[in-house]
Amino acid sequence: MEFLGRLYRSAQGACILSCAVWGAGCGAAAEDPPNILLVVWDTARSDHLSLYGYEFETTPFVDEWAKDARVYEDAVSAAGSTVPSHASIFTGLLPSEHGANNDHKFLDDQFATLAECLSKGGYDTYAWAANPHISAVHNFDQGFDRVEHPWDERWIARAQKLLRRKLDPTDSSSELPERIREGSGRSWDVKASGNLAREALGRWLERPKRAAGQKPWFAFINYMEAHRPFIPSRKLRRALMTPEQVAASYTVDRGWESLWSFNFGLHEYSEDELEVMERTYDATLLELDGLFKELLDDLEARGELDNTVIVLTADHGEHLGEHHLLDHQYSLYEGLLRVPLVVHYPRVFGAGRDTQPVSTPDIFPTLLELADQPLPAGSSRRSRSLLQGGSGSLRVAEMLATAGSPLATVRDLHPDFDSTPWERSLRAIYRGDEKLIWASDGRHETFDVSAGGESKLEAGAEDLRDQLLAELAGVLAELKAFEGTGELPTLTAEERKRLEALGYLGDEDDSTALKQPSEESGALNELDGDNKHASGAGGNSAGGESDDGERD
């Protein structure tokens, strides 16, 4: 990798990489390490971006911008929820390796993160995260010189003001409107204030201590507009809905109790209601497109994009009614795992569509290679730089613990509800157009995922299932499974007080956990039994979700 880094930093090397690897024209080489901008659209599934052929124009700016970029058409996430998927992007590891999941929402210090590696290599590092899970509370601040959130004291008043502008007086679709009207300052209640990210990054770049051109910078931006609850403006809704749908979008009940009850087959939405939810989600993507444009326009005006790698991706997608599911838990279906991945750096990456199979953990080695930094000790064999072909033929995604609070809430509402079928762990493996979802309760599923679809295979699928089970066992046997206590740090009284003020504790703290049977005795490769349960990644307990459903 160091050789490739030196090669890339010379004009001739850049030509070789660009032409031979990517089949693109040769651009000038960068004499200095590039700046790096990593943008995550939280909860954005690729098949609802017009960039990926969606019927509605949800990403008009990105569609144009990406004409000079490398667009990966076959990118999947390593997980279907925020904590494990971000941990995989930050470390290049699979959830089994880094151990961050629904019942261990913490990125352990033992793993070298992208920010830590770049900081060690001489980069200034910055993070703006609108998702409360991506914070110091969960140890995701490792390696960043500065981490900011919309609920910080500096930003909270303006974040609330932005939200109030978005909220329609008639909106009764979720709990959020009432909370904002009551003046709530909890972290989850200021999640859709992405306009502030541009200004926050700009302030950091122009800080007095930063001498122009002194150091390259790495900035990570997490936007939450596409995460439930959806509150795009009326103007954005009108761009994608009929007047009747716009009106309905403010009244359809997407409260947590109704949403979870739908997932567990205890509540129904009409087809019209599901379509309205889908269009409202689409409007949030259109909002993200505009925010991304504003961010890049501002950086360009500052002269910060001349030598900057820009990566646009998502941590995971969103269920929109398929498989009778909403939100993003309890599955590893394509709606959760298929994510956008675009790399804009014409000096090295030729423009065009790329069909090679890749995964979001590949971002980690790719950016380190572009920065001419070595991979840290203990790097995963499953992630591979996009300069070297990406993930390869086999890709794995994991859900190692079940979200417990929704199950507990629905059991309270419906005492006869049997939550057992949902108390399981899942793993998915891709081999070309074939996909297996392994389930700890033996309810495995096989799919054809060609052309971006997901067709379940029934007759004659046994041989394929057995082949993919064997492939999955082989992959897991190669991994260095997470070795940690699974325990979160003990909070001091002052830390607890601060977290309660942010809404992390108190009525949002769920101390109950659903314990899953433990029959594997830690053997990651025993995947052929019908009653085996996952282990090796922070234990087998599930839960740890907030009472308000602010989980991922």
pLDDT of residue 248: 97
What is the per-residue pLDDT across 131-169, written as a single tens digit (0 to 9) for each? 999 999 999 999 999 999 999 999 998 998 888 888 888
Percent of the chain with pLDDT over 70: 81
Q: Measuring CA to CA, which residue among 446, 487, 37, 58 is closest to residue 239?
A: 58
The token duo for 257 is 């109790």
Domains of the chain, residue spans = 1-31, 32-478
pTM of the model: 0.85
Q: 32-478 in CATH: which number?
A: 3.40.720.10
User: Distance between CA atoms of 89 and 83, rounded to whole angstroms?
Assistant: 10
For residue 53, count CB atoms less than 10 angstroms from its CB and return exposed for 0-12, middle for 13-18, buried for 19 or more. exposed
Predicted confidence (pLDDT) per residue in 387-430, tens digit: 998 888 799 999 998 888 889 889 999 999 999 999 999 999 99
Give 283-319 pLDDT, tens digit per residue: 999 999 999 999 999 999 999 998 999 999 999 999 9
Half-sphere exposure of 180 (CA within 13 A, CB side): 29
514 pLDDT above the threshold of 70: no
Helix (H, G, I), strand (E, B) or coil at 518: coil
**Tokens 């910078």 -> residue:** 217
pLDDT score recorded for residue 212 = 58
Indicate the average pLDDT of the chain. Answer: 83
pLDDT of residue 298: 97
What is the spatial distance between Cα 213 and Cα 211, in angstroms, rounded to a whole number? 6
536 pLDDT above the threshold of 50? no
SS (H, E, C) 252-289: CCCCHHHHHHHHCCCCCCCHHHHHHHHHHHHHHHHHHH
5: tokens are 């880094």
Whether the per-residue pLDDT at 538 is higher than 70: the answer is: no
Tens-digit pLDDT profile for residues 215-229: 999 999 999 999 999
Read off the pLDDT of each residue in 85-102 and give the average, rounded to a whole number. Answer: 95
pLDDT for the residue 381:
84
Per-residue pLDDT tens digits for 321-373? 999 999 999 999 999 999 999 999 999 999 999 999 999 999 999 999 999 99
Residue type, 380: S
Residue 397: strand pairing partners = 428
